[in-house]
Structure 1
């Protein structure tokens, strides 16, 4: 029996449940519980459902264990070899330092390249980001080596912090977590060195996202909460950047708490996020470097959490996201939100999941198709989309339509 299986068995017995009773309480097949206790593996989402049925934190069921053998090389990992080399250069027995370049770097031009890369990432042009990132990393390292003191050194560190942050965002998106962790740690280090707490705080936002994806809910929440406490602004005087970072940290804390079966803490964190969004809404100029954050984003994230809680109501998610409701496609278009906006499309996946829960698979497909039209590169990296499509394939009683088969193939659900 694996450590994970032992934990599930221990908590099941403490709850006085048989395998069949636990499966019934969790809405799972008895064979799923039996297989897990015998040493099988399950997705984090299934573990969360079991933890909720056992009234324990999801993290209490987790344990270190020997990973499954690698059966094949990840082509994405191979494709990132140049970026990996730039971020983690080879080390020998001698100290490794960046050589000082002969030519003086153009710091304003370098910063413009980095921010253009961020715009490409926000537009889901992942191939463009992957192609440019290795040279960007080399250039910022050269700039830091060239300017070893003074204002130019601080500017070079600030540029490197933004470059590493961009690398961390991209690498987390494509699930290269160890390399992303390295990049985000570098972003935090350089941002703190120049007292840029907004960039350092946003790096923690992305770090919390990374930890969430790894199922490290306690770590994700702790990082977000501690940083939010450190950066808590005076609402009346805070800049748009500080409010946005503070709000995103609160949303990450809420997401971690809800997934760890602590809904009350999640609700409290969402209230903080809503306060940040309300303050941003009162500012004449709410532009900032860290993507869209507003009351709509906070509300949509709340509906995503709604589906995870024990008494989550998919009909509420649908009601608030269709026709002319506040989080509907109609409302987003009226607010002139771009079709490629990640938060809008993430919400469409939430709505698709809600439709699947009530058995309306065709309407779920409408949402998936809309996202595929707007953000095809982004969609194929979304686990929520893969889960939604897998649920349609498994639950649909009638034959899959051609569009369903095509979407399932693109998302890797069907071979």
Structure 2
């Protein structure tokens, strides 16, 4: 059962006190419009100061108004921070006292491991489908349950439990990157890597490193991302003659991450060499499946993803014509790792806009709005493309472009 929203708590408590929305507005100093929007669900989050004023008027603790604000984070509402991430923050970075014990009390008897794995798969599917609100609502309890499972695991079961924890925290870190919570994502990745090391599973550890490289690039730490990806790829480089598909995929993803970093560091030749090496891994892997248990990054590596990286490298280099030419060889999507395909389509949209093909560029953005609005509104790259189109085209902004500008936060 989903947790009630802040607006649902507010409406229930207001009715219990016998106040109308207008009377609550008068007593709290908060506008009727804000109260109405919260209760109707038009707004999913409010500032802490707003909730405090409402709580004073209702004579309840402020925490009584706190509810599920996952949708506010997914929609990037202006007031969603920091309350919308409070639950995931408690799970990823719990407060600890003098003894080192966490203040958050975990479940004494977590669900069986097969149930936890099924929950992780379902949450991963929600994330890949750009349903960030559902993923964010599920992950806090899942992280806490899996942590407890690790604590209670027998020596025999401990490696598998740590694999599950590493994957859960990896997914959490990926989601937090999308929600622009980089510092919290870094904590999730650090704990995921520790769990992967305890498990002894090198493939899982390598995929966590790839997530860390993605975060480093988002933080502008390009040289560190490149060094981390290359050094890890050297450590886990598989023997092609007997490598398992998951090993090839994990190595290939690291090479693509390194290529993305070198492309952004204005080293296109090195980036091209790394993509060529990743292509060899994709060819060797062929149609073999890395396995259903390998979630997120591993399952999305193939020749098509390698070609997307070639397009990205061309876009980073500012070569719009080459980017469009290379994109013709990318298989139609979406792909298992939805964000990779969507990022590729943004490269295509940029290339069209750079070539002054504004209708085509807008068309790609509209496709993404239809496919992944929650993802698109978090993409600064999309905002830059809308800006490029709006500043260069001579005609007045169309209604469709205006809607896109509103979605991605570009001021009209």
What is the TM-score with the length of structure 1 in the denominator? 0.75
Confirm or deny: 8 A CA contact 1:353 1:388 kept in the other structure.
Answer: yes
Match of 1:368 among 353, 365, 368: 365
Match of 1:188 among 184, 193, 198: 193
What is the TM-score with the length of structure 2 in the denominator? 0.76
1:224-243 to 2 correspondences below 5 Å: 224-243=229-248
Whole-angstrom distance in 2 between the partners of 1:320 and 1:358: 15
Corresponding residue for residue 219 of structure 1: 224
Corresponding residue for residue 295 of structure 1: 303
Whole-angstrom distance in 2 between the partners of 1:163 and 1:126: 15
Confirm or deny: 8 A CA contact 1:101 1:146 kept in the other structure.
Answer: no
Give the C-alpha shift of residue 152 in structure 1: 2.1
1:9-408 to 2 correspondences below 5 Å: 75-96=80-101, 102-103=108-109, 105-147=111-153, 149-281=154-286, 283-287=287-291, 288-289=294-295, 290-309=298-317, 312-321=318-327, 325-327=328-330, 331-332=331-332, 337=334, 341-408=338-405
Aligned partner of residue 80 in structure 1, secondary structure: helix
Whole-angstrom distance in 2 between the partners of 1:127 and 1:102: 27
Confirm or deny: 8 A CA contact 1:99 1:145 kept in the other structure.
Answer: no
- Call closer, same or farther: CA 1:189–1:339 in 2, change over 3 Å: closer
Confirm or deny: 8 A CA contact 1:158 1:194 kept in the other structure.
Answer: yes
Give the C-alpha shift of residue 125 in structure 1: 1.0
Confirm or deny: 8 A CA contact 1:198 1:242 kept in the other structure.
Answer: yes
Task: Extract unaligned runs of 5+ from structure 1.
Answer: 1-71
Whole-angstrom distance in 2 between the partners of 1:340 and 1:186: 23
Aligned residues: 331
Whole-angstrom distance in 2 between the partners of 1:139 and 1:413: 40
Whole-angstrom distance in 1 between the partners of 2:166 and 2:361: 40
Confirm or deny: 8 A CA contact 2:300 2:336 kept in the other structure.
Answer: no
Give the C-alpha shift of residue 173 in structure 1: 1.3
- Call closer, same or farther: CA 1:77–1:202 in 2, change over 3 Å: farther
Aligned partner of residue 92 in structure 1, secondary structure: coil
